[in-house]
């Protein structure tokens, strides 16, 4: 039974789900926005917020870079993430998810997750 288990399953095994979220986080930091389905967007937003707040607490530490490199695949995305985190004055609410429309093939709800620049 899945009582009180709130993590999104996304119809994948655990290793594939982890890789999917890592790919989405990498793309989010590289390009600033990602367009994906509703369930993936919610899972991405949750994980990205947790990662940013974790690294923001250790902003001047080498462990922050290690934490980022543990999740993010490319060095360019890790540098962009560090630059975004250091430039941000906020303490929460780093991402925004907006509904874009429906996908043409299967009529799935699409959402765009973007980093808030302030």
pLDDT in tens, 2-30: 899 888 899 999 999 999 999 999 999 99
Cα Dmax for the chain: 46
Is 32 a member of any domain?
A: yes
Asked if residue 102 is part of any domain, the answer here is yes
Q: Which residues, 6+ apart, have CB-to-CB distance to 53 below 8 Å? A: 91, 92, 94
Full-model pTM: 0.92
Domain membership flag for residue 7:
no
Cβ neighbours of residue 87 under 8 Å, at least 6 residues apart?
none
Residues in the chain: 118
Domains held by the chain: number = 1
pLDDT mean across residues, the chain: 93
Would you say residue 3 lies in a domain? Answer: no
Q: Which residue has the tokens 């982890």?
A: 18
Residues facing residue 112 across a β-bridge: 35, 98
């Amino acid at each position: 039974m899945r009582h009180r288990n709130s993590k999104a399953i996304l119809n994948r095994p655990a290793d594939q789900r982890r890789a999917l979220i890592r790919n989405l986080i990498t793309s989010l930091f590289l390009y600033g926005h990602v367009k994906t389905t509703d369930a993936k967007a919610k899972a991405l937003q949750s994980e990205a917020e947790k990662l940013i707040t974790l690294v923001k607490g250790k902003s001047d530490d080498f462990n922050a870079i290690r934490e980022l490199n543990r999740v993010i695949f490319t060095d360019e995305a890790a540098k962009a993430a560090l630059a975004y985190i250091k430039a941000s004055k906020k303490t929460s609410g780093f991402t925004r998810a907006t509904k874009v429309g429906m996908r043409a093939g299967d009529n799935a709800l699409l959402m765009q997750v973007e980093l808030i620049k302030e």
